[in-house]
Amino acid sequence: MIDFTNIKVLLIGDLMIDHYIYGESDRLSPEAPVPVIIPKRNQYFAGGAANVAMNLSHLGAKVTCIGVVGDDKYGKQLLDILRKNNICIDKIEILKSEITTLKQRIFCNERQITRIDHEKIFDWNPSIKFISNELKLNYDVVILSDYNKGVVNDSWLQFISCKDMIIDPKKDNFSIYKNAKIITPNMNELQKVFDFEINENSIQKACNQLISDYNFEYVIAKKGEKGITIVGKDNFIKNIKPHLVKNADVTGAGDTVISALSLFFHKEGDISKAAEFANYAAAISVSKKGTSFPRIGDLKNFFNKKSINDKMEFDH
């Protein structure tokens, strides 16, 4: 096993709350060909960058969040979830007259039928002094979890190279992330950057171009059910095979990848092993329903070199 309990992480990003509404229906509406749903159960989970914080905390790290929530009931609920999971919320700003980013997933007879997003791009510019003071503190890992809701902006640009940041990107222009140590785009995010098709044959070319243009040390390309490709400087490349998971729910898988990768890489300094560990952790995450995360105990089979499909009991 591995111990992450002494690692201090600063997480900067777009905090959200996920609301799951589970209902039942036995008739259609007379107003439109849609089911009439009777709500039976509600669940709330930390989402977006807040889910990254949950992943980090339940892997054992000490986590401090920087971000914003609205001055509403969902913001209070999200802060309460984070606080109860031993995540430091002192640096999270509550913005007056703003809403907290909310994703509502509605299920009918156990099948998701729609998602409703309540969001606003925050115009949030923390002071340079605040950023500088935070980054001078003794954090072992600094992660930017960008969901393109306003928190990760030009304010952070000049500081990215000084703290070996690890970034999960969302913007179409990667120049804002210049000089990051590691960046973890998925295939769709890579495709938005390039005018040629991103596939298994072109992924190394694309990642090498990003490294050349923006001075990244590693690009971790997340390929979903096809695994992970690592591309680094000096033509380094490594393909990590996927773990096959039946009926996978991919909600939050990228959050698990950046969390597990960051902690393992800080601890061991081996990018290939870190990506293998992150890939395994993500397979556990997608084997659960909804917004979820693995705990360190869930990962014991990784160290025993067992398959993800070996029988295990997972906590939500």
Query: What is the sign, positive or negative, of the torsion defined by CA atoms of 6, 7, 10, 11?
Result: negative
Q: Is 90 a catalytic site residue?
A: no
Q: What is the CATH number of the domain that holds 179?
A: 3.40.1190.20
- Distance in angstroms (rounded) separating the CA atoms of residues 244 and 32: 39
Which range marks the domain in which residue 255 is found?
8-15+48-100+120-303
Q: How far apart are CA 310 and CA 245, in angstroms?
A: 11
Cα-Cα-Cα-Cα dihedral sign, residues 26, 29, 35, 36: negative
Determine the length of the chain.
316
Q: Is 298 helix (H, G, I), strand (E, B) or coil?
A: helix
DSSP 14-83: -EEEEEEEEEE-SSB-SSSSSB--EEEEEEEEEEEHHHHHHHHHHTT-EEEEEEEEESSHHHHHHHHHHH
State the CB neighbour count (10 A cutoff) for residue 276: 21
Q: What is the pLDDT along the chain (316 residues), one digit of tens a residue?
A: 789 999 999 999 999 999 999 999 999 999 999 999 999 999 999 999 999 999 999 999 999 999 999 999 999 999 999 999 999 999 999 999 899 999 999 999 989 999 999 998 988 888 888 888 888 888 999 999 999 999 998 888 778 877 789 999 999 899 999 999 999 999 999 999 999 999 999 999 999 999 999 999 999 999 988 899 999 999 899 999 887 777 666 677 889 999 999 999 999 999 999 999 999 888 887 777 766 677 777 787 777 665 555 544 434 3
DSSP H or E run through 144 = strand 141-145
The pLDDT value recorded for residue 275 is: 95
- Is residue 35 domain-resident? no
Query: What is the rounded CA–CA span in Å between residue 95 and residue 124?
Result: 9
Does 41 map to a domain?
no
Residue 62 CA to residue 137 CA, distance in Å, equals 14
Does this model's pTM top 0.85? My answer is yes
Give the active site residue among 26, 255, 270, 310: 255
- In a domain? residue 115: no
Residue 126 included in any domain:
yes
On whether residue 144 sits in a domain, the answer given is yes
Domain count along the chain = 1
Q: Which two tokens stand for residue 93?
A: 């700003």
Structural domain includes residue 78: yes
Query: Rg of the Cα trace of the chain?
Result: 20
Do residues 17 and 100 make contact, with C-beta atoms less than 8 angstroms apart? yes
Determine the Cα–Cα distance for residues 238 and 221; give it in Å rounded to an integer.
Answer: 10
Domain membership flag for residue 211: yes
Sheet holding 111-118, edge to edge: 38-48, 15-24, 101-108, 111-118
26: in domain: no
Q: In 3D, which of 151, 184, 183, 157 has the Cα closest to residue 65?
A: 151
Residue 23, both tokens: 């209902």
Say what the pLDDT of residue 316 is.
37
Phi, psi of 219 (to 5 degrees): -115, 120
